[in-house]
């Protein structure tokens, strides 16, 4: 509602506007991956031995795994020896304040609309900015620390809060979970860490902004978010990358730990470079996101996936404790040659656990959009309930929408509902809007935004506006 | 205001309009009547620029400009409004949101300032009272789950907000009960003025008891075969379309 059709029109007429490259002196290691690479990354970060051991174990596991072949996407095999696993802007050892940040990097985030100056920022949002392999700045740390909230880069957390990190790292996504998660565990370079103490309601949105800048570089960040008993937190994640002809790999892991009676809301607006109109370049976004909810806890994933050449991502909930609640709201857009295979897993273990899945897939151009979801209700999850709704919207006649819902119910007292629909944007709908004076682009935007409404209303306000605009850009040129 | 001359249009290979001539001046209300399949709705569709119809011959001038050259949205912004026979549903799009966007497009085109949400609601409330539209209807998705009567009323309500110069009503009376018919007609009559022209496409004479036309045209086989005053509608009601169709054959032979 907040976005006028004007600004959508403006946005619809521009290309990927985050495709610039920042000229900053980088320190990168040679491409390739072996044990020495991992030792090098670990030593650069002055990590404790236990973490190095953990990485090496993950590397061993990774070598026994193969990339998943089941997703409904096609791309040439990635040569993991061609990738640079660590790249960081050169700067002073430790920042005393945000003022010490390299002005080029600061300017980059300004340009992305993420000012790292606390005075200029959107009030009520604390940001951790990750540039290639490292976190370059975190805002509002002091203010949050007064309430006992820890919000910092993953590297700092390893140094300053090793016990917390060690306790929860890998507790939701074990190193052996899958090919990309194992790779991430071996080589992850930075990311965000947050801990909300018992009974504390985090007063502002926490947010991480990921930026890939260097060429040939993979980004492997790790986010760990712990809400202690009775805590509440809302977390936002955004991401962009320069336009480059080669494909770049982004293999992240996000772990959420929601202890008893806590609430975590995790929202993503993913806008990695999707490649050009002919499908050249773009980010491979192979991400593992999972949360574990204990008794009476609630985890909500909301994602708006508009970018990336290929998206492979299933933010999931392990509903471990009784009465735990898991929610997944997703909008995934594929235009041109983009491919997305995305969805969720809801694993019901506790009694009376509940989950809701609302997935909206939009395909345009030659885009292929797959929803893949698993609802598993264990034999002890008496009285568990799930509701799933998967809707697909097609624009044009060369795109595809696919739905693979898996339901496994192992007790008789549970209730599972699944609804699915596929529709095409009707010429009649577009004409109706045009007869009222709207341009075709505005009409499509309006119809698509209406289609996504149930998901957008789950997003925090600023993000909802951003998401609406992004849809406009992503669907540019998809009609007539 | 509207000059239609020798208009021919086809869909696929089938010619539907075979030379329509029609002249509508500001302030006038014209009724286009005719049996099913005579081309009434096609004429309405061609005037608003539906792309499935090809105009093969003839011309349409609107306020002196070539209407057929304009995109559908440009026609709308210039002041051509169609009350649809079957208004479409647009799930998730708030009725008020669509209307505000439409109104601002029209205002922008006229060089007027954009209305913000507050101004818009104030403006709309006044119009709602004329048509007995509930606030609730404004906040529901466009036409979704509306009854037939609500959909038609919503069309007339949009017309009242957008204040077109030429309002075309395509079978607005179909599917309306007598109360809804009265409300819709009152709305249309309230909007009648010296600057606005109205073209009513209808199968039945019934609507014309409520909205009294200045002229009645009978369309048959893609041509206007008879024109007259409001009494022509009554005569048609009395004698049926076969009376006219008989006449067409005479004309044709």
Q: What is the pLDDT of residues B68-124, one digit of tens each?
A: 999 999 999 999 999 999 999 998 898 888 999 999 999 999 999 998 888 888 888
Model confidence at A133, pLDDT cuts 50, 70, 90, reads low
- The pLDDT score that the predictor gives to residue B214 is 95
How far apart (Å, rounded) are the C-alpha atoms in residues B171 and B169? 6
- The pLDDT score that the predictor gives to residue A19 is 65
Q: Which residue has the higher pLDDT, A277 or B186?
A: B186
SS3 call for A232? strand
Mean pLDDT confidence for A9-28: 59
Mean pLDDT confidence for A419-438: 89
Q: Which residues of B touch A (CB under 8 A)?
A: 48, 50-51, 71-73, 75-77, 81-82, 84, 87-88, 90-94, 97-99, 101-102, 104-106, 109, 114, 141, 158, 162
Strand partners, A222: A253
Mean pLDDT confidence for A8-30: 59
Is residue B55 within 8 Å of residue B8, measured between CB atoms? Answer: yes
Tokens in use for B178? 């007598």
The whole-angstrom distance between B243's CA and the closest CA on chain A is 36
Q: Give the one of B48, B72, B92 whose C-beta lies nearest to A451's C-beta.
A: B92
How far apart (Å, rounded) are the C-alpha atoms in residues A141 and A155? 15
pLDDT in tens, B137-172: 888 889 988 888 889 889 999 999 999 999 999 988
Mean pLDDT confidence for A310-318: 92
Cβ distance of A442 and B101 shorter than 8 Å: yes
The answer, yes or no, to whether residue A441 has pLDDT greater than 80, is yes
* Helix axis angle, A461-474 to A5-12, nearest 10°: 50
The answer, yes or no, to whether residue B47 has pLDDT greater than 50, is yes
Characterize A181-196 residue by residue with b for buried, 16 or more Cβ atoms within 10 angstroms of its Cβ, and e for exposed.
Answer: bbbbbbbbbbbbbbbb
- The pLDDT score that the predictor gives to residue B172 is 87
Lowest average pLDDT, out of A89-93, A224-228, B220-224, B249-253, goes to: B249-253
The whole-angstrom distance between B198's CA and the closest CA on chain A is 16
The answer, yes or no, to whether residue A316 has pLDDT greater than 80, is yes
pLDDT in tens, A41-80: 899 889 999 999 999 999 999 999 998 888 888 888 888 8
Task: Classify the C-alpha dihedral A212-A49-A291-A154 as positive or negative.
Answer: negative
> Which residue bears the tokens 């085109």?
B109
Mean pLDDT confidence for B213-239: 90
* Dihedrals phi, psi of A218, to nearest 5 degrees: -95, 150
Q: What angle do CA A283, A471, B82 make, to 5 degrees?
A: 150
How far apart (Å, rounded) are the C-alpha atoms in residues B187 and A463? 41
CA B150 to chain CA centroid, Å, is 17
SS3 call for A59? helix
The answer, yes or no, to whether residue A24 has pLDDT greater than 70, is no
Mean pLDDT confidence for A224-253: 83
Q: Which residue has the higher pLDDT, A209 or A403?
A: A403
- The pLDDT score that the predictor gives to residue A265 is 94
Closest CA to A303 of A326, A285, A279, A328: A328
Q: Give the one of B50, B114, B141 whose C-beta lies nearest to A431's C-beta.
A: B50
- Within 8 A of B77 by CB-CB distance, chain A residues are 437
CATH code, B2-252: 3.40.50.300
How far apart (Å, rounded) are the C-alpha atoms in residues A402 and A400? 7
At a CB cut-off of 8 Å and minimum separation 6, what does A55 contact? A38, A41, A42, A185, A186, A187
Among A435, A438, A444, the strongest candidate for a mutation testing the B interface, having the largest count of B CBs within 10 A, is: A435
Q: Where are the beta strands (DSSP E) in A398-467?
A: 400-409, 415-424
DSSP label at residue A458: T
Average pLDDT, rounded, for chain A: 83
How far apart (Å, rounded) are the C-alpha atoms in residues B26 and B62? 11
The answer, yes or no, to whether residue A167 has pLDDT greater than 50, is yes
- The pLDDT score that the predictor gives to residue B242 is 78
Model confidence at A242, pLDDT cuts 50, 70, 90, reads low
How far apart (Å, rounded) are the C-alpha atoms in residues A289 and A328? 12
The pairing of beta strand B2-11 with beta strand B54-62:
antiparallel
CA A430 to chain CA centroid, Å, is 32
Q: Which residues of A touch B (CB under 8 A)?
A: 1, 4-5, 426, 428-429, 431-440, 442, 446-447, 449-454
Among B90, B115, B143, the strongest candidate for a mutation testing the A interface, having the largest count of A CBs within 10 A, is: B90
- The pLDDT score that the predictor gives to residue A15 is 63
How far apart (Å, rounded) are the C-alpha atoms in residues A268 and A311? 13
Cβ distance of A453 and B92 shorter than 8 Å: yes
How far apart (Å, rounded) are the C-alpha atoms in residues A442 and A433? 9
Q: Give the one of A5, A426, A450 whose C-beta lies nearest to B88's C-beta.
A: A426
Q: Which residue has the higher pLDDT, A13 or A447?
A: A447
Cβ distance of A432 and B88 shorter than 8 Å: yes
Is residue A136 within 8 Å of residue A129, measured between CB atoms? Answer: yes
Cβ distance of A436 and B99 shorter than 8 Å: yes
> Which residue bears the tokens 């067409």?
B248
Average pLDDT, rounded, for chain B: 89
How far apart (Å, rounded) are the C-alpha atoms in residues A191 and A51? 15
Model confidence at A6, pLDDT cuts 50, 70, 90, reads very low
Provide the residue ranges of all domains of chain B, joining segments of one domain with +: 2-252
* Dihedrals phi, psi of A111, to nearest 5 degrees: -60, -30
Lowest average pLDDT, out of A99-108, A349-358, A410-419, B29-38, goes to: A99-108
The whole-angstrom distance between B45's CA and the closest CA on chain A is 10
How far apart (Å, rounded) are the C-alpha atoms in residues B243 and B247? 7
Cβ distance of A437 and B71 shorter than 8 Å: no
Tokens in use for A286? 């192979």
Q: Which residue has the higher pLDDT, A195 or A11?
A: A195
Percentage of chain A exceeding pLDDT 90 = 40
The answer, yes or no, to whether residue A462 has pLDDT greater than 70, is no
Q: Which residue has the higher pLDDT, A82 or A167?
A: A167
Percentage of chain B exceeding pLDDT 70 = 96
Model confidence at A210, pLDDT cuts 50, 70, 90, reads confident
- The pLDDT score that the predictor gives to residue A112 is 65
Cβ distance of B84 and A432 shorter than 8 Å: yes
Q: Which residue has the higher pLDDT, B50 or A462?
A: B50
Closest CA to A129 of A12, A53, A44, A240: A240
Q: Give the one of B48, B98, B109 whose C-beta lies nearest to A446's C-beta.
A: B98
Is residue A138 within 8 Å of residue A153, measured between CB atoms? Answer: yes
- The pLDDT score that the predictor gives to residue B91 is 87
Mean pLDDT confidence for A17-27: 68
Is residue A295 within 8 Å of residue A258, measured between CB atoms? Answer: no
Mean pLDDT confidence for A227-240: 88
The whole-angstrom distance between B154's CA and the closest CA on chain A is 13
Q: Is A116 left (phi over 0), alpha (psi -120 to 50) or beta?
A: alpha
């Amino acid at each position: 509602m907040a976005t006028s059709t004007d600004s959508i029109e403006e946005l619809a007429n521009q290309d990927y506007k985050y495709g610039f490259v920042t000229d900053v002196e980088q320190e990168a290691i040679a491409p390739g991956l072996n044990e020495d690479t991992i030792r090098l990354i670990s030593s650069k970060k002055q990590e404790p031995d236990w973490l190095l051991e953990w990485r090496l174990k993950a590397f061993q596991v990774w070598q026994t795994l193969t990339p998943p072949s089941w997703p409904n996407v096609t791309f040439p095999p990635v040569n993991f020896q061609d990738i640079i696993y660590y790249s960081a802007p050169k700067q002073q050892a430790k920042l005393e304040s945000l003022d010490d940040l390299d002005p080029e990097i600061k300017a980059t985030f300004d340009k992305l609309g993420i000012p790292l100056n606390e005075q200029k920022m959107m009030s009520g949002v604390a940001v951790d900015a990750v540039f290639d392999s490292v976190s370059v700045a975190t805002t509002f740390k002091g203010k949050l620390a007064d309430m006992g909230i820890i919000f910092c880069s993953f590297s700092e957390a390893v140094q300053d809060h090793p016990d917390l990190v060690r306790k929860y790292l890998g507790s939701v996504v074990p190193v052996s979970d899958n090919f990309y998660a194992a790779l991430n565990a071996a080589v992850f370079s930075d990311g965000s860490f947050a801990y909300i103490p018992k009974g504390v309601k985090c007063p502002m949105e926490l947010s991480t902004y990921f930026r890939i800048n260097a060429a040939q570089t993979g980004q492997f960040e790790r986010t760990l978010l712990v809400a202690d008993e009775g805590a509440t937190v809302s977390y936002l994640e955004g991401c962009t990358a320069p336009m480059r002809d080669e494909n770049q790999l982004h293999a992240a892991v996000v772990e959420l730990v929601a202890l008893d009676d806590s609430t975590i809301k995790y929202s993503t607006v993913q806008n990695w470079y999707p490649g050009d109109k002919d499908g050249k370049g773009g980010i491979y976004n192979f991400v593992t996101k999972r949360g574990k909810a204990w008794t009476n806890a609630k985890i909500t994933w909301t994602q708006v996936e508009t970018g990336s050449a290929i998206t492979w991502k299933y933010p999931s909930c392990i509903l471990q404790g009784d009465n735990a609640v898991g929610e997944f709201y997703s909008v995934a857009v594929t235009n041109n040659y983009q491919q997305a295979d995305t969805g969720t897993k809801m694993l019901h273990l506790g009694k009376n656990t509940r989950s809701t899945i609302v997935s909206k897939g939009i395909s345009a151009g030659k885009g292929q959009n797959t929803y893949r979801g698993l609802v598993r209700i264990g034999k002890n999850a008496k009285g568990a309930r799930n509701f799933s709704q998967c809707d697909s919207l097609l624009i044009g006649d060369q795109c595809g929408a696919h739905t693979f819902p898996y339901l496994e119910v192992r007790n008789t007292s549970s209730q599972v509902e699944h609804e699915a629909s596929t529709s095409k944007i009707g010429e009649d709908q577009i004409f109706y809007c045009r007869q009222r004076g709207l341009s075709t682009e505005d009409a499509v935007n309006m119809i698509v935004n209406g289609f996504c409404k149930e998901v957008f209303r789950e997003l925090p306000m600023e993000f909802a506006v951003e998401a609406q605009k992004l849809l406009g850009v992503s669907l540019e040129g998809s009609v007539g | 205001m509207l000059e239609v001359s020798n208009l021919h249009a086809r869909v696929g290979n089938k010619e539907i309009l075979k030379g329509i001539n029609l002249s509508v001046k500001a302030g006038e209300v014209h009724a286009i009547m005719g049996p099913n399949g005579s081309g009434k709705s096609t004429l309405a569709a061609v005037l608003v620029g539906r792309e499935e119809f090809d105009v093969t011959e003839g011309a349409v001038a609107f306020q002196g400009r070539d209407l057929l050259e304009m995109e559908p949205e440009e026609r709308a912004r210039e002041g051509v409004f169609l009350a649809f026979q079957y208004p479409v549903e647009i799930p998730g799009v708030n009725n008020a949101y669509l209307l505000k966007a439409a109104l601002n497009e029209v205002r922008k085109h006229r060089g007027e300032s954009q209305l913000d949400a507050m101004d818009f609601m104030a403006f709309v409330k006044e119009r709602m009272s004329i048509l007995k539209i509930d606030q609730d209807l404004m906040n529901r998705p466009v036409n979704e789950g509306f009854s037939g009567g609500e959909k038609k009323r919503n069309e007339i309500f949009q017309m009242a907000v957008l204040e077109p110069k030429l309002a075309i009503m395509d079978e607005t009376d179909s599917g309306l009960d007598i109360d809804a018919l009265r409300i819709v007609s009152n709305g249309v009559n309230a909007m009648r003025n010296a600057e606005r022209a109205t073209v009513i496409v209808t199968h039945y004479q019934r609507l014309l008891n409520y909205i009294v036309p200045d002229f009645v045209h009978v369309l048959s086989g893609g041509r206007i075969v008879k024109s007259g005053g409001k009494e022509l509608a009554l005569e048609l009601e009395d004698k049926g379309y076969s009376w006219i169709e008989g006449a067409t054959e005479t004309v044709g032979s």
